[in-house]
Amino acid sequence: MKSAVTSSLFSHSKNLLKPNPLSRLESVFLPKPSLRSIVKLFPSSSTSGLRSISSMASSFKPEQARVPSALPLPAPPLTKFNIGLCQLSVTADKTRNISHAKKAIEEAASKGAKLVLLPEIWNSPYSNDSFPVYAEEIDAGGGEASPSTAMLSEVSKRLGITIIGGSIPERVGDRLYNTCCVFGSDGELKAKHRKIHLFDIDIPGKITFMESKTLTAGETPTIVDTDVGRIGIGICYDIRFQELAMIYAARGAHLLCYPGAFNMTTGPLHWELLQRARATDNQLYVATCSPARDSGAGYTAWGHSTLIGPFGEVLATTEHEEAIIIAEIDYSILEQRRTSLPLSKQRRGDLYQLVDVQRLNSK
């Protein structure tokens, strides 16, 4: 895996690339024994022993562990590409925030990124007071109604890249949502994910925040086919719910993207842990992007935008300052990892099932 961190746009950023632990991980997987060596394990029963093992595995009904049955991993449009994670500072000046994000996207693309991920709530301060003020009518199609998405559409088309547009407050009638827009290399809006799990927490003496005071929860999981593969989208608190990631994996996702703004209480404890868990459990890539930390803001983000590989390895990350991370994604690794750990063939459909309600109801 190749990864790099650039910071020419943000001269004060200090970035950290963690060592790739693949060499240690690979050492625990021994070559598969040949048929002859397996038979030697059952000298008295020979191949009948193999048949009994196969029969036992079949009785576990792994294909029934996902309802409907999991889709096969689709062939991606390309095997390798660079992703850019833009960890941005956010101010109370919306015009400045949009211009700043535009420059970061352009820099990431100039460094070779074919996919760019922005942070959660990058055009507005993160507060219940700010959400209604900075909210945009995305369905109006850009322009004055949604200058943030107008910029994303223009830049994605001009640069020929895919953009996972972090998230912005969205207004629909009298409702507000925390919404991520995905723009294709043609500048068209390919998908829109409204945060499903709202951030309502109360840790005494540490942090209390209730998104539900102003925001409405989304109702639809979002997975989208792009020029850089099939991507499942979640926003921040969504990453805590493994069922959503499992549904995306069962729908054939190559990559999960989570713009997020974990805080100074849960960030140090859970941010990297959850990313690695989602990647490891589902054997796919996970990318996250946080706002840069502003200790003077009403809500202080943890930072540490990261790319995780399908073995749960940290491929690239940064600290809390502004930064642009450029890292390589190699989808050929997915099948290798799934062959080494054939989890999809070992699930116990006779004991448990994950039901994808949306897919089931669409049949």
Of 136, 195, 211, 257, the catalytic one is 195
Is 289 an annotated catalytic residue? no
CA–CA dist 342, 336 (Å, integer) = 10
Of 236, 272, 313, 322, the catalytic one is 236
* Best CA proximity match to 249, nearest among 234, 235, 264: 234
CA–CA dist 2, 161 (Å, integer) = 20
Is 170 an annotated catalytic residue? no
CA–CA dist 85, 117 (Å, integer) = 5
* Best CA proximity match to 325, nearest among 118, 151, 160, 154: 118
Of 86, 107, 114, 120, the catalytic one is 120
- For the record, the structure tokens of 357 come out as 């309600």
* Best CA proximity match to 122, nearest among 142, 150, 144, 102: 102
Which residues lie below 8 Å from residue 328, measured CB to CB, with a gap of 6+?
A: 1, 2, 3, 80, 81, 82, 83, 315
CA–CA dist 24, 62 (Å, integer) = 29
- For the record, the structure tokens of 16 come out as 């950290």
Is 120 an annotated catalytic residue? yes
Residues with catalytic function: 120, 195, 236
